[in-house]
Amino acid sequence: MKVEHLAIWVGDLEAIKSFYVKYFGAIASDLYHNPKKNFKSYFLTFADGDTRLELMQQPDHHQKGISTQLGWAHMALSLGSREAVDEYTERFRRAGITIHSEPRTTGDGYYESVILDPEGNIIELTV
């Protein structure tokens, strides 16, 4: 068994897609649009070819009584080394992206830093 993909609701679909493509080398699918439901999405595939993230947008989503307050707390991306975590953190800092937590070794042994994507979603950068 493996996780096929993770999905996240976004406000600015194009901006968030561009963020993951630019900074993480994700490859975006063609835009999917269901006009009947006013739903749009992209699937982003990362370098390993197996990991995918679905970015979803539906303007009236919150008005339908669907809560997104509970659910995933963050997404962790493995960068392969402590050096890569440090390098990515500095790259994001130079780009003006919010550094939520500086590189550190956590109590459970992970070396990580934490950034926020343009809509405030938490991304752990780890080895």
CA distances in angstroms from 125 to 63, 76, 84, 90, 103, listed in the order given = 33, 6, 9, 12, 9
pLDDT, position 66: 53
- Please answer whether residues 88 and 102 qualify as being in contact, where contact means their C-beta atoms are separated by less than 8 angstroms: no
pLDDT tens for 25-65 read 999 999 999 998 888 999 999 988 888 999 988 877 655 55
| Strand-pair category, 52-57 with 122-126 | unpaired
Instruction: State the pTM of this model.
Output: 0.81
**CA 61, chain centre distance (Å):** 19
Write down the mean pLDDT value for the chain.
88
CA distance 64 to 60: 7
Which runs of consecutive H residues, i.e. helices, occur in 35-103? 82-94
